[in-house]
Structures are given as C-alpha cells and as structure tokens.
C-alpha cells in the first residue's frame, strides 16, 4: 500500500478526548434526563414510535459501569455522502469495543445500507482499522444511498443482523440516514428483537444540528478546505485584477457551507438561499445584487471580485422553484413525447407553451445552456436534476448580459470578465482537521458506551464543542427528539428536521453586518491550508459558525 508522508504521520495522531471518556470509556456511567419530546407533531410521532418515543437525553460521567465489560458483536454502516472524520468514528467505536472486552467484534457493512439488506460485510480487525485512522474518505467499507424503506428491506435487515449474531447496528449518516436508523430501531423492537440501533451525525452540509447536536462531523474540514481554495482564488483575483470568480459551493438544501466560507474569506458577494426565499427575491433581483457590487467596484477601478453561491439557491428563488415544479409535471405527463425529441429547440417548443405564462417566459429568457440543463438532464424519475444546474454559469451569464445593457445606457463604465467554479467533491474526503478527527473519534466512543449500556434509538452526541476537548460533554439524544412529520411523496412521514440557516442567528447577523463593506472594498481573508501540527489556536479551532452559535462561557472565579 502506497501512502504519503502526511498519511503516515496522521496514523500516529492520538485524538484528544472528553474527560468522561478519556481514562476508560468502558467505565463511563450514564446520567438520564427527563423524557424528551419531539420537535413537533408529538401525538403522531408517539403513535409511530411506540417503543422509542419519549426517551431521555443521556449524559456520560466518569464512574462505574459493569455492563460495559460484556463481549459485543456490532455492525457499522457508512450511509450517504462522504465526510471527513468517518474513519475516526469507526476507529473510536472499535477501540471502545476492545477496551470494554477484548473478545468484542466489529463488522463493517459494505456499500452502505444495502450491505445490511443483502448481508454483505467484513470483519474490521485492528490491522484494518490502523490503516484508516485520522484519514479522509469512506473507503474502509464504502458508502451508499440505499434507503431501508420497504417491508422486505426491513425484514432482510433484521434477518441479516440475527444471522450475524449482532448486538447492535451503528449507522453513520445525515438526517435522512438517521431517520432510517430511527425507523430501524423501532422495527427491531416491534418485532421483539433486542438488537440495538445507534446513529452518529454526519454531513458536510451542516444541516443536522440542534441544541444537543451542535455540529455534524465533516463540516469543519469541508468548509476549511473550501475556504482555502476561495482564499487562493481571491489572492489570484487581487493579483491579476481582471476577473470576477463565481464559485458554487456544495450544500443542496441549506447554505451553512456558503455562510461559513463567507465568514472565513470575506468575499464581495455571498448569496444565502434562506434569505433569498424569505425575501422572495426574483432571479432578476439576485442578478441586480451581484451587478451592484460589480458596478461600485468598477467605480473604484477594481474590475475583479468573488461571488459565493450555494448549490441549491435556484430552488429557493420562487419563480425558479415554480418553473422546476411545472417542468416536472410536464415531464411526468408527456414523458414519451419528450423522449422522442432529441433536439433542444424541439423540446423547448414542446414544453414552453404548456407552462404558465410567467414560467414559459422565464424558461425562454434563460441562457440556452441553462435551459438545456432544465429540459434535457433528467433523473431516473424523469425530474429536473437540480443539482446538475450550473447556477454559477447562470448568474455569470445573466450578470454579463445586464452589465452590457447598463454599459449601453452609460450607467456602467467597467469591464467584466467572469470565470465559474464548483467546489464540492474537493471537500468530502480531505484529511480530517484535528477538530473532526477528535470529534469523530469521540462520537464513535460514545456510540460504544450507548450500545454497551443497552440503549437503542439514540444518536451519539458530543456537546460544548467550542471548549477545549477535555471539556466536551458526551452522551446521546433520542432520534425522535429531532423529528417532525413532513409531506413526502404524497403522504406524511416522520423525518429528522433539516436545520437551515437561521436568519436571526448570530452567524448570519455577523455576516449581514459586514457584507455591504465587502461588496465595495477589497476585504479578502486568506485562511490557507488546514494545519495539523502546531499551536491550538492554529490547529484546533472550531468553525466561526460554531463559535458564534455557542460562544465560549467566561470562566467563573470564586
């Protein structure tokens, strides 16, 4: 196996631990809080989760826990998109199992939840685990996006777990994956099985969080990776002084990544999807916002800049959202007819008259390459592939068109050359930052303590993340505490609520207070690469989002 010098060095990194887990995780005792209620729809959720609703929040303390010493057989699943720190969750889980009892075993299900359904797994030994400590990626066992949702899939999952003699299944995933985990925990108990299900919070998007889940692992590393790239581009822009860079950032439903990167790099413009929706901005208004910065900077002889764009912003622009919804309906109703038209012009002339007048006009006004993506790139269900829309190029083209019009009218005297970028996969498998390496490992150890203590239906939780690691608070929170009912595919279903950017929250307010200055004055920050070795103020700092949402409490002296 060929490894880099950094990878070799990272194998030797020993994650820092919360005090309750530091000496011997197998001695952590559980402190139970009051029964927890769901985020909303309590009566409906209580009826669905008869066995797992109303569980208490759990906190760990140093103490004695004889249960933890029994031998255990546990399965682990990586579910959904990759996120830095996943390997450390598995390492923490493995180390906890072995410290509890040397005869305990860990199996990894291959390729995500489908591995559980299809009984595809391998034993994860110490030799295997050691090859992946403190490294990025999910390649130790692979990941997948299969959902356990049919009766046959649930039955197969239970059959596999029984056949392997598992005591528990740990699912490492985001909001959808942990919703699946909640349903699986309930299903096992409903069928009289004592096989436990525990989840851990993973997503670079940052949209799985609440009071007890302050952050999901992977977000810290991803935004620091993107911010380095943005800082590099900003330095290039400030050197060449001739390009506007439009940078789309991963984060489909929420703008946490874009907001954090803006706080770290101070670009000229950063769109926040949640604000666009709240203020009901049209596509034209979004373009005007960008052009206003371009014009003001041109007046200062600065014909360059940077615009950050959340991946899913087009779905938050009301008129674009309506257009996409109408196109999906037309595609569903006329699938065969559309499939028979190979040319874009023919598809446009077929679809546009069937749209409402505003949507038809909008479709015809879009740059041709964007209209093509809306009409010709469809997912297996026939719907528009929103994630494939090159939003950065849409806004570049429309801003260029608007500025050309203003130039003809004598209202703009600058020059405008634009380049587009999309940063997504670059951040999903980076070497985890020290924060994510520590956090992932602590989440894995916490999952072990919950399993060894006989708990099921819980998400591993580590809080107080802005404090030094020794002061982090480990424990678990019930899946159902984070849930509400939402309309999905024509029926109400239980889901873990996505946490979108809070426009009243400290991170957004901090950004909003400074963005007018950034729009005109070159205020770029250059974060540089993630540092793994050196002083804590350089290597171990959490994100600005986390620090603003959970400001450190001043120490009290008596």
Q: What is the C-alpha to C-alpha distance for residues 346 and 507, in angstroms, rounded to an integer?
A: 47
Any idea what DSSP says for residue 332? H
- Give the per-residue pLDDT at 381: 64
The H-assigned helical ranges of 119-242 are: 126-130, 151-163, 175-190, 219-240
Helix 357-365 / helix 318-333 crossing angle, nearest 10 deg: 100
Kindly report, residue by residue over 500-545, the tens digit of the pLDDT.
999 999 999 999 999 999 999 999 999 999 999 999 999 999 999 9
Residue 1 banded pLDDT, cuts 50, 70, 90: low
> Are the C-beta atoms of 100 and 396 separated by less than 8 Å?
no
Kindly report, residue by residue over 298-318, the tens digit of the pLDDT.
999 999 999 999 999 999 999
What is the DSSP pairing of strand 56-62 with strand 28-35?
A: antiparallel
> Are the C-beta atoms of 47 and 490 separated by less than 8 Å?
no
Token pair for residue 147?
């959902």
Q: Using alpha carbons only, give the angle 175, 274, 234 rounded to the nearest 5 degrees.
A: 100
- Give the per-residue pLDDT at 25: 66
Q: What is the C-alpha to C-alpha distance for residues 77 and 85, in angstroms, rounded to an integer?
A: 14
Q: Which residues are CB-contacts of 225 (< 8 A; sequence separation ≥ 6)?
A: 426, 427, 430, 530
Domains, the chain: 5-218+432-496 (3.40.50.450), 224-427 (3.40.50.460)
> Are the C-beta atoms of 78 and 178 separated by less than 8 Å?
no
203 or 382: which carries more pLDDT confidence? 203
Catalytic residue among 95, 175, 205, 436: 205
Which of 200, 96, 84, 173 shows the shortest CA–CA distance to 435?
84
Q: What is the C-alpha to C-alpha distance for residues 6 and 135, in angstroms, rounded to an integer?
A: 10
Q: CA 481, 487, 488, 491 torsion: positive or negative?
A: positive
Q: Which residues are CB-contacts of 207 (< 8 A; sequence separation ≥ 6)?
A: 174, 175, 216, 251, 253, 254, 256, 498, 499, 500
| pLDDT higher than threshold 50 for residue 29 | yes
Q: What is the mean pLDDT of residues 247-266?
A: 96
- Give the per-residue pLDDT at 554: 59
> Are the C-beta atoms of 170 and 451 separated by less than 8 Å?
yes
Which of 506, 339, 304 shows the shortest CA–CA distance to 416?
304
User: What backbone torsions phi and psi does residue 293 show, to the nearest 5 degrees?
Assistant: -70, -45
- Give the per-residue pLDDT at 557: 38
Locate tokens 């209209």: which residue?
Answer: 371
- Give the per-residue pLDDT at 555: 47
Which of 179, 152, 167 shows the shortest CA–CA distance to 49?
179
- Give the per-residue pLDDT at 96: 96
Locate tokens 């480990």: which residue?
Answer: 474
Kindly report, residue by residue over 350-360, the tens digit of the pLDDT.
999 999 999 99
Q: What is the C-alpha to C-alpha distance for residues 32 and 28, in angstroms, rounded to an integer?
A: 13
Q: What is the C-alpha to C-alpha distance for residues 253 and 261, in angstroms, rounded to an integer?
A: 16
Residue 491 banded pLDDT, cuts 50, 70, 90: confident
Kindly report, residue by residue over 136-183, the tens digit of the pLDDT.
999 999 999 999 999 999 999 999 999 999 999 999 999 999 999 999
Residue 385 banded pLDDT, cuts 50, 70, 90: confident
Which CA distances in Å does 29 have to 71, 169, 198, 460, 474?
18, 21, 17, 15, 11
Q: What is the mean pLDDT of residues 327-349?
A: 89
Kindly report, residue by residue over 65-105, the tens digit of the pLDDT.
777 789 999 999 999 999 999 999 999 999 999 999 999 99
Token pair for residue 144?
């997948």
The H-assigned helical ranges of 196-315 are: 219-240, 256-265, 273-278, 283-299
Kindly report, residue by residue over 409-436, the tens digit of the pLDDT.
999 999 999 999 999 999 999 999 999 9
Token pair for residue 366?
């879009």
- Give the per-residue pLDDT at 556: 47
Locate tokens 């797994």: which residue?
Answer: 121
Q: What is the C-alpha to C-alpha distance for residues 12 and 141, in angstroms, rounded to an integer?
A: 21
Q: For the chain, what is the mean pLDDT?
A: 94
Residue 139: active-site member:
no
Which of 433, 434, 453 shows the shortest CA–CA distance to 25?
453
DSSP class per residue in 288-328: HHHHHHHHHHHHTT---EEEEEETTGGGGSHHHHHHHHHHH
Any idea what DSSP says for residue 557? -
| pLDDT higher than threshold 70 for residue 234 | yes
């Amino acid at each position: 196996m060929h490894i880099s010098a950094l990878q070799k060095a990272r194998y030797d990194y020993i994650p820092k631990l919360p005090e309750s887990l530091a000496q011997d995780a197998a001695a952590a005792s559980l402190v139970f809080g009051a029964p927890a209620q769901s985020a909303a729809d309590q009566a409906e959720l209580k009826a669905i989760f008869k066995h797992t609703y109303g569980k208490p929040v759990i906190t760990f303390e140093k103490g004695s826990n004889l249960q933890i010493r029994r031998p255990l057989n546990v399965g682990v699943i990586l579910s959904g998109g990759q996120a830095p720190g996943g390997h450390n969750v598995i390492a923490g889980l493995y180390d906890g199992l072995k410290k509890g009892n040397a005869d305990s075993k860990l199996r990894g299900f291959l390729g995500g939840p489908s591995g559980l359904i299809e009984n595809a797994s391998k034993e994860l030994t110490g030799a295997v685990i050691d090859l992946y400590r403190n490294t990025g990626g999910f390649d130790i066992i692979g990941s997948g996006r299969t959902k356990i949702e049919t009766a046959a899939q649930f039955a197969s999952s239970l059959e596999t777990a029984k056949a392997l003699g598992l005591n528990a299944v740990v699912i490492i995933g985001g909001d959808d994956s942990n919703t699946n985990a909640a349903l699986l925990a309930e299903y096992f108990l409903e069928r009289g099985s004592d096989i436990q299900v525990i989840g851990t919070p993973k997503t670079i998007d940052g949209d799985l969080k609440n009071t007890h889940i302050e952050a999901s692992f992977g977000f810290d590393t991803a935004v620091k990776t993107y911010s380095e790239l943005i800082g590099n581009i900003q330095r290039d822009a400030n050197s060449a002084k001739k390009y506007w860079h439009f940078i789309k950032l991963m984060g489909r439903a929420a703008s946490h990544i874009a907001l954090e990167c803006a706080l770290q790099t101070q670009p000229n413009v950063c769109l926040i999807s949640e604000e666009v929706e709240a203020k009901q901005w049209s596509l034209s208004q979004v373009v005007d916002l960008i052009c206003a910065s371009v014009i003001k900077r041109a007046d200062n002889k600065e014909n360059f800049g940077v615009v950050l764009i959340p991946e899913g912003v087009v779905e938050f622009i009301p008129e674009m959202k309506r257009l996409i919804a109408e196109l999906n309906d037309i595609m569903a109703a006329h699938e065969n007819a559309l499939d028979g038209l190979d040319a874009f012009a023919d598809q446009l002339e077929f679809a546009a008259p069937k749209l409402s007048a505003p949507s038809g006009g909008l479709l015809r006004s879009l740059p041709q390459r964007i209209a093509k993506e809306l009409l010709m790139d469809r997912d297996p269900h026939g719907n528009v592939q929103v994630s494939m829309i090159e939003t950065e190029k849409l806004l570049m083209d429309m801003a260029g068109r608007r500025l050309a019009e203003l130039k003809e009218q004598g209202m703009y005297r600058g020059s405008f050359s634009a380049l587009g970028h999309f940063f997504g996969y670059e951040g999903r498998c980076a070497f985890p930052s020290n924060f994510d390496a520590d956090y992932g490992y602590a989440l894995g150890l916490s999952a072990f303590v919950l399993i060894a203590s006989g708990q099921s239906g819980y998400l591993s939780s580590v809080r107080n993340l802005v404090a030094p690691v020794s002061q982090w608070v480990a424990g678990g929170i019930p899946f159902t505490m984070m849930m509400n009912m939402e309309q999905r595919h024509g029926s109400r279903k239980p889901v873990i609520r996505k946490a979108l950017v809070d426009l009243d929250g400290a991170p957004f307010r901090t950004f909003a207070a400074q963005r007018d200055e950034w729009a005109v004055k070159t205020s770029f920050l250059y974060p540089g690469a993630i540092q793994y070795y050196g002083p804590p103020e350089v290597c171990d700092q959490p994100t600005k989002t986390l620090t603003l949402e959970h400001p450190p409490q001043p120490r009290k002296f008596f």
